[in-house]
Structure 1
Amino acid sequence: MLTAALVLTVLVAALHLWFLVLEMVLWTRPQGLKTFRMSPEKAETTRVLAANQGLYNGFLAAGLLWSALLLHDWRVVAFFLGCVVVAGAYGAATVSRRILWIQALPAALALACIALAG
């Protein structure tokens, strides 16, 4: 189960690195506009907020990779995965239900694997 947890954790980290790129680099470009279903005008007025959000996603990715690959401490991994689940649930409730499936579900599955291994 810990191998599955590790694979899922790295997947969650990779997703958050992709979110960083989308929010910090691609927000006002066609890929960002399409992904977030925004007009160029709205993207331009929200780009600083998006970049801040992207930076936080990068910190989540860093925490996940650090705790899983370098620290090898599943309690710390579980903490960061829990943060992702909470953020995903909040995003699903306030922005789009898609966030629940794209962000929260993989993290919840990784948490479940850790719990089953425990």
Structure 2
Amino acid sequence: MTIIAVVFAALAALLHVYIWVLESFRWTEPATRKTFGTSESEAEVTAPMAYNQGFYNLFLGIITVIGLALLGSERAVGTALALAGTGSMLGAALVLVTHDRTMARAALTQGLFPALAVVFLLIQL
């Protein structure tokens, strides 16, 4: 089960690094605006917030990757860090969909890999 947990956690981390790039560096680009459903004027106004939010996503990815790296040598610490990262990603997806039901697709995209990682990380305990 550990390999399945690692795969889903790694995919979650990679997705959140990608989200970091979109939010922090490509926020005002047409393709990114389309992805997030924002207009050009909204993107310009929200760019500082998106930049900051992007780094939250990066840090969650980093926490998860460090956890995965430690699974072999420090299993308890690695599992705790991987759960902290993926659990926070999952929590953010749940907040997104409970705040605005129209964001269900985005929440599913953001939360599926972390949810599967959390389940398999807990099973391997």
TM-score (normalizing by structure 2): 0.88
The worse-fitting range, judged by mean Cα deviation, of 94-103 and 15-24 is: 94-103
Judge conservation of contact 1:19–1:57 (CA < 8 Å) in 2. Answer: yes
Alignment of 1:29-44 (within 5 A): 29-44=29-44
The CA RMSD measured in Å over matched residues stands at 1.1
Q: 2:113 aligns with which of 97, 102, 106?
A: 106
Structure 2 residue runs of 5 or longer lacking an equivalent are 72-77
TM-aligned CA deviation for residue 75 of structure 1: 2.0
List, as ranges, runs of 4+ consecutive aligned residues in structure 1 with deviation greater than 4 Å.
none
Percent pairwise identity? 32
Structure 1 residue runs of 5 or longer lacking an equivalent are none
Q: 1:116 aligns with which of 106, 112, 123?
A: 123
Alignment of 1:1-20 (within 5 A): 1-20=1-20
Judge conservation of contact 2:19–2:54 (CA < 8 Å) in 1. Answer: yes
TM-aligned CA deviation for residue 25 of structure 1: 1.1
TM-score (normalizing by structure 1): 0.93
What number of residue pairs does the alignment pair up?
117
